[in-house]
Amino acid sequence: MALLEVNNLGISFGGLRAVDEFNLKIEQGELYGLIGPNGAGKTTVFNMLTGIYKPTDGTIFLDGKDVTGKKTAEINKAGVARTFQNIRLFGDQSVLDNVKIGLHNSFEYGTATGIFRLPKFFSTEKKMDKKALELLSVFGLDTMANVLASNLPYGKQRELEIARALATNPKLLLLDEPAAGMNPNETRDLMNTIALIRKEFGVTILLIEHDMKLVSGICEKLTVLNFGRVLAQGETSAVLNDPEVIKAYLGE
């Protein structure tokens, strides 16, 4: 059984059909790429997968469970985490707290326990700190744990967003243009990091990216989206040599 199975997904905004008949199957452990020209509907697909938009048609199954039209928070609990194209960190909180917010559902104590500082508060917070620092150290961010998230350099903000997503312990991680705005060196580091987190956390990854070097370097399979429809799908090398795809990217 595939980890993610999307059938005939579609969404309309007013009269505009933004995504139509979108099908996708991702197996456990795969590193999958979603590419296409600007405005093809890639982020819209992500928004439907995470419940930010309710799809007009179609179904989404995660690990055999129907999550179509569920609320964003529920979908996250079911095992989907994501990052955003325009970074969305909790800017007024520290790097450490950003990750601890990601850990929110894994470590529980009630509001009253927090207000009255019962023993469980201290023990749980200690565990959370430890786990959060562990996650941060993967990205070399543990030394900046107390910095405000909005004060981090751009590249580090993208990594913190990934760390925060991983903190929710996802089965499927969606990365929306993780290399946007990075220089070639940073992109290379990022590729290594993505490979590393896949290995360490056993997480399946679906990513949107424009950087073809990154896509061909790490993605095993690709789906190409054009004008809201699937143009090509399959093994990376085959897809990238598809004349249709080349046409869509380079023009006639």
Partner 1 sequence: MKILEKLKKSTQKIIGPVADTVSKYAKKVITPVVNLYKKLNKPTKKLIRTETVILALFAVVSVMESSGNLTSLMKGLLVPVCAYSLVAVGLNLCVGYLGELSLGHAGFMCVGAFTSALFSRTFQDVIPDVPRFIIALVLGTAVAALFGFLIAIPVLRLSGDYLAIVTLAFGEIIKNVINVLYVGKDSKGLHFSMKDQMSLNMDLDGMMLINGPQGITGTPRQSTFLIAVLLLMLALIVTHNFVHSRTGRAVMAIRDNQIAAETVGLPVTKYKLVAFTLSAAIAGVGGVLYAHNINSLTATTNNFGYNMSIMILVYVVLGGIGNFSGSVIAAVVLTMLPELLRGLSTYRMLIYSIVLIGLMLFNWAPGILKWREAHGLNATAIIGRFKKKEVQ
Partner 2 sequence: MHRVYIYERELTFMGFLTYLINGLSLGSVYALIALGYTMVYGIAKMLNFAHGDVIMIGAYLVFMCMSNSGMPAVVSIVISIVCCTALGMIIEKIAYKPLRKATNLAVLITAIGVSYFLQNMALMIFGSNPVSFTSVIKWEGISLAGGNLKITGNAIVTIVTCIVIMVVLMWFVKNTKPGQAMRAVSEDKDAAILMGINVNATISLTFAIGSGLAAVAGALLCSSYPSLTPYTGSMPGIKAFTAAVFGGIGSIPGALIGGLLLGVIEIFAKAYISSQLADAIVFTVLIIVLLVKPTGILGKQIKEKV
List 2, 101, 138, 191, residue binding partner 1 (CB under 8 A): 101
Residue 61 binds which entry of partner 2, partner 1, none, with Cβ cut-offs from 5 to 8 Å by kind?
Answer: none
Residue 218 binds which entry of partner 2, partner 1, none, with Cβ cut-offs from 5 to 8 Å by kind?
Answer: none
Strand positions, DSSP E, 177-228: 204-208, 221-226
Residue 184 identity: P
List 84, 163, 208, 222, residue binding partner 2 (CB under 8 A): 84
Residue 158 binds which entry of partner 1, partner 2, none, with Cβ cut-offs from 5 to 8 Å by kind?
Answer: none
C-beta of 43 vs 68, nearer to partner 2: 43
List 19, 31, 47, 222, residue binding partner 2 (CB under 8 A): 47
CB burial string 116-136: b at 16+ within 10 A, e below: eeeeebeebeeebeebbeebb
Continuous segment of H or E residues that includes residue 239: helix 236-240
**Total residues binding partner 1 (CB under 8 A):** 43
User: What is each CA distance from 71 to 4, 55, 60, 231, 232, in whole angstroms?
Assistant: 17, 12, 13, 29, 30
Task: Tell me whether residue 10 is exposed, middle or buried, using C-beta atoms within 10 angstroms of its C-beta: 0 to 12, 13 to 18, 19 or more.
Answer: middle
Tell me: does residue 83 bind partner 2 (CB under 8 A): no
The residues in 57-76 that bind partner 2, with binding defined as CB under 8 A, are none
Binding site for partner 2 (CB under 8 A): 43, 47, 52-53, 84
